[in-house]
Amino acid sequence: MSTIADAVERDNAARRATLDEDYAHLERQLERRHVDIEALVARATAFRVAIPSWGVGTGGTRFARFPGPGEPRTLLEKIDDCGVVQSLVRVTPAMSLHIPWDKPRESGPGDVASIRARLLERGLAIESMNSNTFQDQPGQPLSYKFGSLTHTNFAVRRQAIEHNLECLAIGRDLGASSHTVWIGDGGNFPGQIHFRHAIDRYVESLQAIHAALPDGWRLFIEHKCYEPAFYSTVLNDWGISYLCAREVGDRCLSLVDLGHHAPNVNIEQIVAQLIRLRALGGFHFNDSKFGDDDLDSGSIKPFQLFLVFNELVDAELEGIPGFAPAYMLDQSHNVTDPLESLMVSAMEVARAYVQAHLVDRAALAEAQANNDAVRALQILKAAFRTDVSPILAAARVREGGAIDPVAAYRASGYRARVASQRPAPATGGSGIV
Ligand code: RM4
Ligand code: MN
Ligand code: MN
């Protein structure tokens, strides 16, 4: 058993020589392609992806949840776990919170002051707040069974709006800078929902939330094609998300969650469209085989992840005005140690980002101008096939992180240590939808 810092030092010492060798080799390879490896290390170092507070607990499916040992029971413990991830991978300095799952206590441990202090201690900040009107909470007067922000009854909509305003107030206290709204509203049967009236109610509710946004904040709306409603979802796709965002207000932007589209939809093209419309506010990374599976980023379709970043990096390099999407992991870790999944996922997202910087954009533009499809794909594949692991590892090490975060984490004995300090609660916490 050792602290994280000890484990990093020991594990890095054992891997240092191999990393140096691999780095030097990659440096020579990239020189032949006229790419400066140090510039890529700088990109990798500057990259950021936020961790959702709900990602550090074990997720569940609608069938079961199998809690792991040492799950965090409070926001303070979630901050501790996120601090571990950040100290090892060094690209995850921000957290995203879900209210009421992460609601601060009135006083004592877990209140706003103690949360702020713990964040500071762990080198973390809060980025986005997330409202939760897809569940009923104990003691809540009105139910969301038939909808929240788009409910037919004004009193239910009012309650859902109030909840979002509370999220803004908590977020302001904790230093957040954006609010993300995903609702489960929709219908299970044809005829159940009046499509046009439901979206009218959605826009009206969102306008009330938008009007209360603190200075400098952005409001993200997240579409999803199905689930928990299985026939129709109120905010079902990116187009309706864009149109609603425009009606809601100038600080309202669309958020893309990789798992929220029908199978085989071209998500990278959606990303490009939203960028063109200056409407891409944020991104939830995860991976999927069939639906909103919330599997680990890069585990199923790494080429798709790369193609998404190809669009994001293209926009970044072009300097599109106002382009500053907030990146976050949004995953459900059902069968792994969540901290391991988060570390690997953050590294996979950073990998796709760095690989996208390897695309020879001048050559690609030329291939496109000449309608040379084979050459265009070759250019993308050359970037995608490059193993940038030594770049990512070098960026981590220079920032004090681990060459091999999972190995260092396992060697630290952190999970066993928190398992003894955090007895499992009688009831399992929330999974993820
Ligand atoms: C939804 C959506 C939201 C997340 C919830 C828990 O499917 O992805 O972003 O907050 O799950
Ligand atoms: Mn999401
Ligand atoms: Mn989701």
- Residue 213 and residue 128: Cα distance in Å, rounded? 12
Residue 431's pLDDT is what? Answer: 52
How far apart are the CA of 10 and the centre of ligand 1, in A? 38
Tell me the ligand closest to 288's alpha carbon: 3
**Ligand 1 atom showing the smallest separation from residue 257 Cα:** 8
Q: Whose CA is nearest to atom 11 of ligand 1?
A: 433
**Which distant-in-sequence residues (6+ apart) come within 8 Å of 154 by Cβ?**
none
Residue bearing tokens 């149109």: 243
Query: Which ligand is closest to the CA of 184, given by its number?
Result: 1
Separation of CA 1 and ligand 2 centre (Å): 36
Angle at 75 between CA 69 and CA 79, to 5 degrees: 80
Question: What number does the ligand 1 atom closest to the CA of 224 have?
Answer: 7
Residue % of the chain over a pLDDT of 70: 98
Q: Closest ligand 1 atom, CA of 182? A: 3
Distance CA 335, CA 123 (A): 28
Q: How far is the CA of 176 from the centre of ligand 3 (A)?
A: 21
Q: Whose CA is nearest to atom 2 of ligand 1?
A: 182
Query: Mutate which of 183, 327, 330 to test ligand 1's pocket (most atoms within 8 Å of Cβ)?
Result: 330
Residue 147 and residue 416: Cα distance in Å, rounded?
41
pLDDT one-digit tens code per residue, 73-125: 999 999 999 999 999 999 999 999 999 999 999 999 999 999 999 999 999 99
Enter the tokens of residue 175. 């230093």
| CA 71 – ligand 1 centroid, Å | 20
pLDDT at position 332, please?
97
DSSP letter, residue 70: T
- Report pLDDT for 424: 83
pLDDT of residue 433: 44
Contact 77, 378 (CB under 8 A): no
Q: Which ligand is nearest to the CA of 53?
A: 1
The answer to whether the bond into 263 is cis (omega within 30° of 0) is no
Looking from the CA of residue 292, the nearest atom of ligand 1 is 7
- Single out the residue of 269, 108, 255 nearest to residue 182, CA to CA: 255
Give the number of the ligand closest to the Cα of residue 431. 1
- pLDDT value of position 432: 54
Neighbours of 287 (CB within 10 A): 21
Question: Which of the residues in the chain have pLDDT under 50?
Answer: 1, 433
CA distances from 331 to 4, 35, 59, 102 (A): 24, 34, 8, 17
The residues near 87 (Cβ < 8 Å, ≥ 6 apart) are 4, 5, 8, 123, 400, 401
pLDDT score, position 29: 98
CA–centroid distance, 255 to ligand 2, in Å, is 8
Residue 352: helix, strand or coil by DSSP?
Answer: helix
What is the rounded CA–CA span in Å between residue 396 and residue 417?
25
Comparing CA positions, the residue from 140, 134, 231 lying closest to residue 185 is: 134
User: What pTM did the predictor assign?
Assistant: 0.97
- Which protein residues touch ligand 1 with a CB less than 6 Å away? 130, 182, 222, 224, 257, 284, 292, 330, 432-433
Q: What is the pLDDT of residues 187-231, one digit of tens each?
A: 999 999 999 999 999 999 999 999 999 999 999 999 999 999 999
Which atom of ligand 1 has the smallest separation from the CA of 222?
9
Expressed in angstroms and rounded, the spacing between residue 257 Cα and the centre of ligand 2 is 5
Ligand nearest to the CA of 227: 1
Tell me how far the alpha carbon of residue 115 lies from the centroid of ligand 2, in angstroms.
24
User: Taking the CB of residue 158, how many other CB atoms lie within 10 A of it?
Assistant: 15
Helix (H), strand (E) at residue 31: helix 4-32
